[in-house]
């Protein structure tokens, strides 16, 4: 099966990093195709960044070979429901995937993320995914997203310190790493901390494989139906639903587009 992992920020080194995490867990027969957004912010650290990253996510869903599943590789899950409207293939957010994975291996988790402002955004996601009963706390490290890749930044130490506080102070049973740029840290932290540490990208890959394997596709009944045809004005005229090239618009009863396993 073909899984397209979309980095909604424009930093290709971060795409490669998450690609490594995805391919480490992908099943034989799963092909991970990486895409870096061609427009928008270098990193996503606020509501404005998120809103403007969505066009790049949409571009990556409508262009190229159709995928059996799409993953939005940013912990804010930008454009998740909009993306689900334009395809029948499952679309997974890495934050929702990681939170759900955590609930299978612990009765509580804390999220360790980047900046204070993204901490607040993650709290919104906890509420919108109905995870309040599971999430003990969302913790910020004050590490900017792009510092996660900078040699010599104290990112790793700051993340470890916040994870330790999550265990000591929140009594969390598991840790969710709240940024795609933390994908390479999960295994080492898990060994060090002795609790499940969930890498959001890996969780999304495994859930994507599961959904495709079960023959499940995004419902086109109700609010995830294809967008209604209408004109879009100005800079966004090319994104009018009638202008979008929707490849996966076949009936839900039809075969999946390219299951190869
Ligand atoms: C992210 C992420 O995963 N990628 C990005 O650019 N910003 N999320 C975050 N919480 O910092």
Q: Which residues of the chain have pLDDT under 50?
A: 250-251, 254-261
DSSP code per residue over 107-152: S-EEEEES-HHHHHHHHHHHHHTT-TTTEEEEEE----GGGGGSTT
Ligand 1: atom nearest CA of 115 is: 11
- Please tell me whether residues 125 and 163 are part of one structural domain: yes
Q: Would residue 261 count as lying in a domain?
A: no
Neighbour count for residue 183 (Cβ, 10 Å): 23
The reported pLDDT for the residue numbered 248 is 54
- Could you tell me if 219 and 247 lie in one domain? yes
Nearest Cα residue to 246 out of 207, 221, 209, 220: 220
| Residue-level pLDDT at 244 | 83
User: What was the pLDDT predicted at 259?
Assistant: 42
* 25 inside domain: yes
Range of the domain at 72: 2-93+205-252
What per-residue confidence (pLDDT) applies to 257? 47
Residue 145 beta carbon below 6 angstroms from any ligand 1 atom: yes
Residues 99 and 190 in one domain: yes
How far is 238 from 165, CA to CA, in rounded Å? 48
Domain tally, the chain: 2
For residue 247, what pLDDT is reported? 67
160: DSSP letter: H
Task: Tell me which H or E stretch contains 72.
Answer: strand 69-72
Q: Are residues 71 and 100 in the same domain?
A: no
Q: What is the CATH number of the domain that holds 102?
A: 3.40.50.12500
E-strand spans in 80-121? Answer: 91-93, 109-113
Query: Which two tokens mark 17?
Result: 């990093």
Q: Tell me the per-residue pLDDT of 79-107, one tens digit each, with 9 for 90 and over.
A: 999 999 999 999 999 999 999 999 999 99
Is the CB of 180 within 6 Å of ligand 1? yes
Tell the burial category of 61 from Cβ atoms under 10 Å away from its Cβ (0-12, 13-18, 19+).
Answer: buried
CA of 76 to the centre of ligand 1 (A): 7
Q: Does one domain contain both 196 and 109? A: yes
Q: Is the CB of 95 under 6 A from ligand 1?
A: no
Residues 68 and 30 placed together within one structural domain of the fold = yes
Is ligand 1 within 6 A of the CB of residue 138? Answer: no
Domain boundary among 180, 200, 220: 200
Q: How far is the CA of 81 from the centre of ligand 1 (A)?
A: 18
Note whether 182 and 224 are same-domain residues: no
| 112 and 187 inside one domain | yes
If asked whether residues 130 and 188 sit together in one domain, one would say yes
Instruction: Please check whether residues 187 and 215 belong to one and the same domain.
Output: no
Residue 165 placed within a domain: yes
11 and 84 inside one domain: yes
- Within a domain: 260: no
Residue 237 tokens read as: 């005229």
Judge whether 86 and 61 are in contact, CB under 8 Å.
yes
3-state secondary structure of 12: helix
**Do 106 and 189 lie in a common domain?**
yes
């Amino acid at each position: 099966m073909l899984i397209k992992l979309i980095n909604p920020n424009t930093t290709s080194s971060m795409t490669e990093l998450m690609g490594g995490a995805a391919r480490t867990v992908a099943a034989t027969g799963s092909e991970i195709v990486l895409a870096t957004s061609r427009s928008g912010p270098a990193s996503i650290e606020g509501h404005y960044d998120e809103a403007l990253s969505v066009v790049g996510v949409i571009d990556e869903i409508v262009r190229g070979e159709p995928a059996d599943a799409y993953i939005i590789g940013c912990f804010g899950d930008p454009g998740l429901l909009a993306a689900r409207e334009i395809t029948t293939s499952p679309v997974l957010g890495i934050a929702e995937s990681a939170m759900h994975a955590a609930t299978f291996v612990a009765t509580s988790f804390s999220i360790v993320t980047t900046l204070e402002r993204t901490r607040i955004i993650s709290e919104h996601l906890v509420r919108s995914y109905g995870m309040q009963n599971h999430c003990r706390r969302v913790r910020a490290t004050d590490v900017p997203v792009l510092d996660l890749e900078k040699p010599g930044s104290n990112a790793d130490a700051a993340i470890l310190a916040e994870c330790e506080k999550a265990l000591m102070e929140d009594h969390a049973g598991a840790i969710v790493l709240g940024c795609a740029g933390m994908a390479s840290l999960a295994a080492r932290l898990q060994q060090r901390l002795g609790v499940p540490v969930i890498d959001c990208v890996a969780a999304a890959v495994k859930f994507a494989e599961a959904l495709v394997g079960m023959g499940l596709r995004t419902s086109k009944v109700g609010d995830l139906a294809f967008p209604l045809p209408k004109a879009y004005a100005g800079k966004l005229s090319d994104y009018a639903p009638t202008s979008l090239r929707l490849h996966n618009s076949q009936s839900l009863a039809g075969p999946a587009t390219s299951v190869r396993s």
